[in-house]
Amino acid sequence: MAEQASFEALEELMMRQRAGRLFDSREVEDSLIERILGMATRAPSARNAQTWRFIVIRDTETKARLGSVFDELGSQMYGQGAPTRTPWAEVPVLIAVCSEYAFGEDESGRMALGASIYPAVQNLLLAAHAAGLSTVLTTRWKRREPELRPILDLPENVGIYAIIPLGWPAETLGKNRRRPVPEVTYRERWGRNW
Amino acid sequence: MAEQASFEALEELMMRQRAGRLFDSREVEDSLIERILGMATRAPSARNAQTWRFIVIRDTETKARLGSVFDELGSQMYGQGAPTRTPWAEVPVLIAVCSEYAFGEDESGRMALGASIYPAVQNLLLAAHAAGLSTVLTTRWKRREPELRPILDLPENVGIYAIIPLGWPAETLGKNRRRPVPEVTYRERWGRNW
């Protein structure tokens, strides 16, 4: 049994988590995916409800259909010149993250659901990164949910919160870049310098 | 410089992330908090917008006021017998996670915001756990946001997404318990066994 990661080792790992959109064609084994999903489920959820459901997609036609919705949304959001770097149909695996509307439809309920899904999504991304895999988190699907239902057989009471392309990287990425903590942190109240 | 955490070491770490609500009175240094917040900011956000803002709260009166809102919400949600185990005023540090409404007010925009805040929240929780600290993620605040504004000087265009009590643990917690992956995973389409 491995020892648990030290603070320093976790920090190094987190500093190198980047979105990767270019994958080589090597297969990603079911056993590795299952272990990564197990790590995803270690995240907290409101009332420990664990409403996350994962769909692991390898079928080329399904990937192409999802990719075409993604690229259309990209054009709507960013114009025709939008970069669409992810070659959806060739991505080895897509993982769709879904959930029932478990905490009510009001703003508070939606927030509880987001707070119960995206921590698991981050565990998934970080676990994949630790395994040497590339991923990219895509969340623009909400607007086209009715169209996704027949592609993925989603029931009416289930929403889609993310689709994560995953595979072995075809590019090398360095550290991520972020604003320094004092620029995003206050002390005691909003606006008071850290 | 540390090596980055291995997959196995990360898995061990994630398996032991639990909500902890009982803290001892030892101080948590600013330097450690700043480093943990730095790890939080390593999470992805839509368009790398990094709209997360953190308020680090040590003031006893502020903690008590927030705690009283929290416990009132608990009574409303779970009835008078609701367990209110977190002794808010005595928690060493509260970290409030806020953000501007950066992606629009429609459901898609709210989702993008949740997807851009809660991964950072999970990094924060996991980093604190790796440092040996206890935390508990609380997100029920949305319903009482207007009341929180004057307590934290929050501007009108800023929402609150989580408050995280944090301190050195006064209890020992074992591994977390989750449903097995095959119970929450489908293959290709909803409903098809993994």
pLDDT tens digits for range B146-172 = 999 999 999 999 999 999 999 999 998
User: Is the model's pLDDT at B68 over the cut of 90?
Assistant: yes
Return the closest-CA partner of residue B135 out of B93, B101, B102, B174: B93
Sorted by where each starts, the structural domains of chain B and their CATH numbers stand as 20-171 (3.40.109.10)
Restricting to B residues 128-187, those with a Cβ less than 8 Å away from any Cβ of A are 130-131, 137, 139-140, 142-143, 152-155, 158, 161-162, 176, 178-179, 181-182, 184-187
What pLDDT, on a 0 to 100 scale, did the predictor assign at position B80?
67
What is the reported pLDDT for B84?
Answer: 58
Q: Does residue A80 have a pLDDT over 70? A: no
Give the model's confidence band at A103: pLDDT under 50 very low, under 70 low, under 90 confident, else very high: confident
Distance separating alpha carbons of residues A102 and A122, to the nearest angstrom: 20
pLDDT of residue B83: 60
Q: Do A154 and B43 touch (CB under 8 A)?
A: no
- Whether B127 has a pLDDT exceeding 70, the answer reads yes
CA distance B82 to B58: 26
Statement: residue B81 has pLDDT above 70? no
Q: Contacts of residue B161 in chain A, CB cutoff 8 Å?
A: 111, 115
pLDDT band at B131 (very low <50, low <70, confident <90, very high): very high
Question: Residue A3's pLDDT is what?
Answer: 93
Instruction: Indicate whether A172 pLDDT > 70.
Output: yes
Please provide the average confidence, as pLDDT, over all residues in chain B: 93
The mean per-residue pLDDT over the stretch B39-62 comes to 97
pLDDT-based confidence at A143, cuts 50/70/90?
Answer: confident
Residue A81 has what pLDDT?
61
Cβ–Cβ under 8 Å, residues A79 and A158: no
| Euclidean distance between CA atoms B86 and B21, whole angstroms | 5
| pLDDT given at position B101 | 87
Rounded to whole angstroms, the Cα distance separating A126 from B97 reads: 21
C-alpha to C-alpha distance for B158 and B141, rounded to whole angstroms: 13
B interface test, pick of A62, A76, A122, A156 with most B CB neighbours within 10 Å: A122
**The pLDDT of residue B106:** 83
Q: Where are the beta strands (DSSP E) in A21-157?
A: 52-57, 93-100, 134-135
Q: What is the mean pLDDT of residues A119-139?
A: 97
Whether this model's ipTM surpasses 0.90 comes out as yes
pTM over 0.80: yes
